[in-house]
Amino acid sequence: MLNLSGVTLRRGRNLLFEDVTFAVHAGQRLGLVGANGSGKTSLFAAILGELDPDAGAIQLTPGARIAHVAQESAHGQRSALDFVMDGDKELREIQHAIAAADTRDQEAGPHAPPHALFEQLEAIGGYAAEARAARLLSGLGFRESDNQRAVEAFSGGWRMRLNLAQALMCRSDVLLLDEPTNHLDLPAILWLESWLLRYPGILLLVSHDRDFLDALCTRVAHIEHQRIRVYSGNYSQFESQRAEQLAQQEAMHRRQQKEIRHIQSYVDRFRYKASKARQAQSRLKMLERMALIAPAHVDSPFNFEFMEPPRQPLHLAQLEAIAAGYGEPVLQGVDLLISAGDRIGLLGVNGAGKSTLVKALADGSTVLSGSRTVSRDTRIGYFAQHQLDQLDPRQSPIDHLRPLAPTARESELRRYLGGFGFGGERIFEPLAPFSGGEKARLVLALMIRQQPNLLLLDEPTNHLDLDM
């Protein structure tokens, strides 16, 4: 069991949520939803012990094993199969103990390692571990020939799949998955969905894929207004329940406002009339004691539009006979003309060259041969995941925006950032504690402010919540 009791969590001065209490049991699959920056990833960090709650306690059944997907990119010369098997730490400990015992025995003379170690290995299914790791790799889209390739030979998206496979390899009691579908194509998503439906432990899932949430969740925890409320059912059922609650809240708010107006009218009429003053004073105290019901509010916090570019050429960019890649060509013989009004979707498995092609268009950095032509009036807006890492964590959102609008007044910059969900003093705070979704919103805001007429978007929705 995972139990949260009166938990309050802050990041810096920012209150994420307070006095949160709920429990999750084995076999339950809890979807964690809420706006970017509301505290989803921070809650995972607290469960992992990487963050200490400011109040309350997070308790796990003693001895419970937690698995999660490492956020840093996998690297090294280990084979993909070995890397995935490292996820089963108990397996590796027993294997190392057998190897150590074997070494000691060979030094003393040819003897077999202690029999108890082999019994432990059999008890945890250690003899089938390699086959289990191979099945995970196959389900996530790896070919059999990939199993012995070095981890660092894979592209970034495939390395993230390796991290996911390693987390699934762990024989865990609690599994924390933060946007697991970001780097998966559709067959891999469907395979992962079926695997998670059979997972016997506690699953906590952060995802902005509503179909994925619908298929998996038995409960939904919604973070809003510094509170976490748990609903039964999947995401669609959560939306239905929440819509009903909001409708009830709005109806109660209207009834209360009508009652307040009626009482206030009585007080205004009779508070200075001697025969009615006592009753008027009593009603005035009633108003003061009344707990106000807030109006239901579900409007999107985002309000922005793409700025008109200074000029709009007919032909924006052209690639002719392009070979593109990193030392070795990933793509060859590419001919592509992009004109005003085009909407082009790039499809292909991870490693097929989608990002390589986008970079060839963006700045030519991956072009190995051929011709890249960009109109002198083309203004490129380029969004890619690595740009989140290029933001200065010491600077604030308004610090990043000012160089792009040096003559704009602060009030104008405030309004602009407010359209992307950055309000109040938040625009002056350093980016270091901001969530991935908040950083993605800021990168989009900076890109749009440059008034592009050609947008190159490489997985722009990976970190964004459903409203954005």
Residue 110 has pLDDT above 60, yes or no: no
pLDDT at 139: 94
Buried b (16+ CB within 10 A) or exposed e, 226-262: bebbbbebbbeebbebbeeeeeeebeeeeeeeeeeee
Q: Indicate the SS3 state at residue 271.
A: coil
Average model confidence (pLDDT) for the chain? 88
Retrieve residue 432's tokens: 């270091």
Contact partners, residue 447, CB within 8 Å, separation at least 6: 381, 382, 383, 455
Instruction: Measure the CA–CA gap between 439 and 392, rounded to whole angstroms.
Output: 10
Instruction: Measure the CA–CA gap between 10 and 287, rounded to whole angstroms.
Output: 34
Strand partners, 315: 339
Count the alpha carbons within 13 Å of 308 in the hemisphere toward its beta carbon: 2
- Return the amino acid letter for 381: G
Instruction: Measure the CA–CA gap between 61 and 4, rounded to whole angstroms.
Output: 12
Side by side, the strands of the sheet bearing 328-339 are 328-339, 315-326, 367-374
pLDDT at 98: 84
pLDDT band at 99 (very low <50, low <70, confident <90, very high): confident
pLDDT in tens, 44-84: 999 999 999 999 999 999 989 999 998 777 788 899 999 99
Q: What are phi and psi of 19, to 5 degrees?
A: 50, 50
pLDDT at 131: 93
Instruction: Measure the CA–CA gap between 213 and 202, rounded to whole angstroms.
Output: 15
pLDDT in tens, 1-38: 999 999 999 987 789 999 999 999 999 999 999 887 88
pLDDT band at 107 (very low <50, low <70, confident <90, very high): low
Q: Is the pTM of this model over 0.85?
A: no
Instruction: Measure the CA–CA gap between 327 and 342, rounded to whole angstroms.
Output: 30
| Higher-confidence position of 244 and 404 | 404
Report the candidate in 343, 340, 345, 338 with the shortest Cα–Cα distance to residue 361.
338
Mean pLDDT of 225-248: 86
Q: Are 156 and 136 in contact (CB under 8 A)?
A: no
Mean pLDDT of 419-427: 89
pLDDT at 295: 57
| Higher-confidence position of 150 and 276 | 150
Strand partners, 205: 31, 177
pLDDT band at 280 (very low <50, low <70, confident <90, very high): confident
Q: Are 41 and 250 in contact (CB under 8 A)?
A: no
pLDDT at 300: 62
Angle at which helices 235-270 and 277-289 cross, to 10°: 160
Contact partners, residue 219, CB within 8 Å, separation at least 6: 24, 28, 29, 30, 31, 230, 231, 232, 233
pLDDT at 298: 53
Write down the residue that tokens 């592009």 correspond to.
Answer: 452
